A and B are shown apart, each in its own frame.
Chain A
Amino acid sequence: MLVKLEEIEKDFTTRIEALAKEADLLNLKSEFLGKAGKLSEVLKGLRNCSPEERKVIGPKANAIKDLIQTQIHKKIEALEIDIINKKLNENAIDLGLRKGRFSSSLSGGGLHPRTLIQREIEDVFLSMGFEVLDGPHIEDDVHNFEALNIPADHPARDMQDTFWFNDPSASDGKGNLLRTHTSTIQVRGMKERKPPFRFIAPGTVFRCERTDASHEFVFNQLEGMMVGKDISISNLIYFMKTLLKEIFKKDVEVRLRPGFFPFVEPGFELDISCLICSGKGCSVCKQTGWVELLPCGMVHPNVLVAGGIDPAEYNGFAFGLGLDRLVMMKYGIDDIRHLNSGDLRFNEQFKSY
């Protein structure tokens, strides 16, 4: 009997090979497993066997039955997949016809490069407990000059070419103007707060200056101010180094040298090691290896007083960063005028996706 079973198995495996239709497969199944099937026929003779023989033949017969069932099932499934796949292939889409390749499609949107840098800086300062403020663009003489220790005849006004709405001399220092720096927000920030406080203020500023590839009459700055007890130059250097490390994602060499700004005392120019030549000297840094990045300093006592703060009790530092300059440095933009041009060929290079 064992021999017969092996023959059946062999017979089945040979015959199933040749079949390629579901009906034929089902017929084959019933030919072997049906009531009058070959396997059933063999098993009918089982009762004549000794118990020892049954122990061998029984499992063997069951194994063959399982084999036939799974083989038939598998083959039918494979046939079905073949049919579906054939249909799918017939209706295949063109994988190259992606939507983004059509002229009618919109490519992804994105933020202005200035926004990208501004957000990054805002987030660095937010994480260190700085608020983010802004104020009006149209300011008065007091906020832009007087309260910042720049009285009417101060030579420092030479450095700032101001856009005036009224004749500055006619209205006796009460003229309206376009703010020439975000330092106006120092004044506003101080008046609205009690020390200790710290904030930054990114914003648009205006200078009556001829424009060229590196000068604009409308550009953006980012002001920072911190007022408290016992604030030191050493603290100022700490924040500036931290900021630059976060922006440039590496330790940047900085140097602090004296610089004159009426609203700080002592005042500094902060230079960073030229990123183009790594400090070796090139045309960008005029062979000095250093690039002037931001003016900063300890808030002048007169400025604190104008902001309603007692300089005997509190002091602080302030800094101003040329945001547009940083944007240009970071992305290698050759002409500042692109920033306000609205030319989407420029903006689209800063797409988010």
Chain B
Amino acid sequence: MLVSLNWIREFVKVPQEIDAKELGLRLTMGTAEVEEVLSIGQFWEEIVVAEITHIEKHPEADKLNLVTFKKDADSSFRVVCGAANVRVGLKTAFAPIGTTLPIGLTLEPRKIRGILSEGMLCSEEELALKDKSAGIIEFPEDAPLGMSLKEYWNKSSDTLFDIDNKSLTHRPDLWGHFGMAREFSALFHCKLEDRFDEDWKRGLESKFSKDSAPITLNMEEDCAGIIYSGISLDGVVVEESPDWMKEKIESVGLRSINNLVDISNYVMLELGMPLHIFDRDKISGSSLNIQSVKESCAFKTLDEETRQLEIGDTIIGDNSGPLVIAGIMGGLSSGVTETTKSIFIEVANWKAAKVRKTSTRLGLRTDSSMRYEKTLDSRLCYRTLLRTIELVKELCPKATIIGRPQHVGVNLEEESDLILDIRQEEICRVLGKELKLTEMVSIFESLGFGITEKKGCLSVTVPSYRATKDIDCSADLIEEIGRIIGYDNIEPVGPLLSVTPVRLSPLHHLKRRIQDFLSLEAKSLEVNTYPLIGAELLKKCSWENEAEELKLVNSLATQNDRMRPSLVPSFLEVAALNQKNFDHARFFELGRTYLKGDKSFSKEDDILGISFFDKNSSPFLDLVETCEGLCRFAHIPSDLTGRHPKFKSNVIDEQWSGIHPVEFLNIRIMGKMNGVVCSVHPLMLKKFKIKGHLSFAFFNLSEITSRPLKEKIGYSPLAKFPGSRFDYTVTLAKEESVELIFKALQKIKIKECSGHEIVDVFSPGNSSDRFITMRSLFQDPEKTLPGDYIKECEEKIITGLRKSGIGLKSS
């Protein structure tokens, strides 16, 4: 919103010595954010009356003259000028170097055809006074030399504050200059001159007539109306507005239309309350009905657009149909035109939520609806109505008021003031700053609050224009004091606190360990992907669950219209993106998946996903190793296992067609398949145009941290006796997994056996077998194992393996 300093100065004498930038800063720090401080019409002050003293031809150009002139007795300037009407003795307008003309041009020292020009003699066109002009301005002979045009023509310059509307959301009282002036008065300690006092009111009321009002008002109970008042005038003449009015409304960005339309805008900009003026001759019948729309219908608004009204919208209508959409915009048919003779002025207050609802639905936010949405003060209607009458009378002196104002709606007499009690020390305590009572009282009073004080307890009467939604508890009062004294005047002080230990939650702690391990040990990069995905991607992945239940009603795009049920689709996308730039890529994400909940609307799980990609060979085993290491590092008890007939993975759909037929292992954690490592099927890779090998691992961290993770580092005394080892080579068919050997060995129970290792794998090219050299280790902490006992153990292993169908390599 634009606020004009000239307009503010009509109500409060803002100190002249404070410059515009400083005013803007204080407003930002105390009231609302000033986005920009603009100065307009500065050129009126800079452009002065000058007299031409000498003219000669430009040596290089026929049509140009070198014009010498003065702006006081002793000065002499020279410019290059192309105007035909130059003559010695002519008084005209001179814009010196540095002036910014209304057409946007800033004058700089400039050579025209080799001759320096010291500014510019202006035409009316260049001052934006006319669309076209033939030559430079010709002032009468008595125009005083050196006088600025501001003074000579009585033009004004102004400072505008562009205020961020968002910072006024809670302040309906600041949507007009008078309300804003009150802030200036509090911030700069200067008195607000309230010209809208009782005398003023009585003066206008004396002009009401005894005639009966030509329009009667009816208001339906459940519509948006709170209060509706209006008055009729006859004998108005629609014409151009006077300059002072045009200048003001145009300075804050509105267009001047005609005197009546301008008055309604002017009053809104001044007092913050919108109003509407009807052409009374276009009201059919003698009553206006404020009511809800009964059945949806089309309606043409002032801006010549046809809008669809729906049941529940509130309109003001006559017996022919709707005339105005309440609080938003008038209709084209009943508005003021150049031929309007008699008018009806409406000033009303509407329910904020209803106006907002209709305006949002219509996509029509007007100066009026923006104000009503903030919840306006019904008590301001009458003042607004009187001010409008005052201006109509001023601009159309022959206009006559017919009757008295009509009102329907709430009875304002019954409304009581909001009074809040607050103690002086409460204000000081919350601010963290000592303040004198007198200081507080003066701030409250400057903002229009009424104060009675008793032993440090303030009884604060909140002005009605602040009580609509803004102020309703003592914290709100503390803000008033805080912002006016300035928060920068409060010293930072640390509070006195009891000391208690804090720790990260188990989940948070686990996440940090995972991040450390995967980035440092597994050389992976942490990424974040979007929690929202689309059906298209899920289809591309052949994902069974298309997450229809967690679909948004107002998504921005179909590729982000639902919550992801798994990290897999995002991971495939990211892998596809990166394989273009990397031959091998490792990344991980700590993200969430979202599923429909059993009892609640949704269930969110914290998931760790890891992806290893390699152009040339399968990274599956590296990823398995990483997962094993990660589990040890993070104290997650785990073992690797294949598919289980009964217990299915908790983190991936085992039926998903994207799973590699061989490279798949479940990770059993605390009895559940809370982890998985698998490679992606080449066909799925093909769909995503991924050339290479891709393996994923997923862990459900929410499940894993549902029970405490225990650190499992233990000490046992160092062995005092040597152990012994037994190496042997077994034969295994090429298609069989070494896993078989380990499974067979697991079944052989030897107390002193401390483990088995693979020593070597030999696959002769011409054989269908592989030869695996294994090593078994034996150790007894209490004694050296006797040779014949070791022999016995070795026999046990060989027979045990044979029982499982694994034979020693025949030599």
Does A176 lie at the interface of the complex (its beta carbon under 8 Å from any beta carbon of B)? yes
Indicate if A173 sits at the interface (CB-CB under 8 A).
Answer: no
Q: Report which of A140, A298, A340, A342 forms a contact with B430, defined as CB distance below 8 A.
A: A298
Determine how close the nearest CB of chain B comes to the CB of A209; give it in whole angstroms: 8
Interface of A is mostly: mixed
Q: Mark B510-553, 1 if CB is under 8 A from A, else 0.
A: 00100100111011111111111000000000000000001111
Please state if A153 and B352 are interface contacts (CB–CB under 8 Å): yes
B582 and A344: CB pair below 8 A? yes
A43 interface hit (Cβ, 8 Å): no
Q: Assess whether B714 is interfacial by the CB under 8 Å rule.
A: no
Contacts of B33 in A (CB 8 A): 257, 259, 269
Say which one of B1-9, B59-67, B119-127, B474-482 lies at the interface with A.
Answer: B474-482
* A166 contacts across to B, CB distance below 8 A: 553
The residue in chain B whose Cβ has the minimal distance to the Cβ of A177 is B552
**CB of B406 within 8 A of chain A?**
no
Beta-carbon nearest neighbor of A300 in chain B: B475
The answer to whether B582 and A342 have CB atoms under 8 Å apart is no
A contact residues around B586 at 8 Å (CB): 106, 109
Q: Is B578 an interface residue when CB atoms closer than 8 A count as contact? A: yes
Partner of A153, one of B356, B478, B528: B356
Please report B residues at the A interface, Cβ cutoff 8 Å: 28-33, 35-36, 166-167, 169-171, 352-353, 356, 373-374, 429-433, 473, 475-476, 478-479, 482-483, 487-488, 490-495, 497-500, 502, 504-505, 508, 512, 515, 518-520, 522-532, 550-556, 560, 563, 570, 573-574, 577-578, 581-587, 592, 594, 601-602, 604, 616
From 77 to 125 in chain A, residues with beta carbon under 8 angstroms from any chain B beta carbon are: 103-104, 106-112, 114-115, 119, 122
Can you report 28 residue pairs joining A to B where beta carbons are below 8 Å apart? A104-B616, A109-B524, A110-B525, A112-B526, A112-B527, A130-B502, A132-B505, A136-B602, A138-B604, A153-B356, A158-B169, A163-B554, A165-B552, A217-B532, A228-B497, A233-B432, A233-B482, A233-B487, A235-B492, A237-B492, A257-B30, A258-B30, A265-B479, A267-B479, A302-B473, A342-B573, A344-B525, A348-B525
Q: A159-B169, A163-B552 are in contact. List 15 more A-B contacts (CB 8 A).
A: A104-B583, A109-B523, A109-B524, A131-B502, A133-B505, A136-B604, A140-B601, A156-B169, A232-B430, A234-B491, A234-B493, A257-B33, A265-B473, A343-B577, A344-B587
Instruction: Tell me which residues across on chain A come within 8 A of B570, comparing CB atoms.
Output: 342
- Assess whether B601 is in contact with A165, with CB atoms less than 8 Å apart: yes
Tally A-B pairs: CB < 8 A: 237
Q: Are B522 and A109 in contact (CB under 8 A)?
A: yes
Interface centre among B488, B522, B556, B583 (most CB of A within 10 A): B556
- The 0/1 profile, CB within 8 Å of B marked 1, for residues 198-242 of chain A is 100000101011110000011000000010101111110111011
- Residue of A at shortest CB range from B597? A138
From B431, B581, B584, A106 is in contact (CB under 8 Å) with B584
* Residue contact A342 to B529, C-beta cutoff 8 Å: yes
From B478, B490, B551, contact of A165 by CB (8 A)? B551
Query: Is A340 a contact partner of B519 (Cβ separation < 8 A)?
Result: no
Assess whether B577 is in contact with A342, with CB atoms less than 8 Å apart. yes
Bound together, the chains give a CA A232 to CA B478 distance in angstroms of: 11
B552 touches A231 (CB 8 A): no
Least Cβ–Cβ distance between A122 and chain B, in angstroms: 8
Complexed CA–CA distance, A210 and B532 (Å): 15
**Which residue of A has the minimal Cβ distance to B28?**
A257
B594 cross-chain contacts in A, Cβ below 8 A:
137-138
Given A165-B601, A233-B432, A266-B478, decide whether A352 and B487 contact each other with a Cβ distance below 8 A: no
Within 8 Å by CB of B523, from A108, A131, A232, A301, lies: A108
Chain B residue contacts of A211, Cβ below 8 A: 556
User: With the chains together, A223 CA to B226 CA distance in Å?
Assistant: 39
Chain B contacts of A301 at CB under 8 A? 473, 475
B67 to chain A, nearest CB (A): 38
Cross-interface CB contact of A129 among B479, B500, B602, cutoff 8 Å: B500
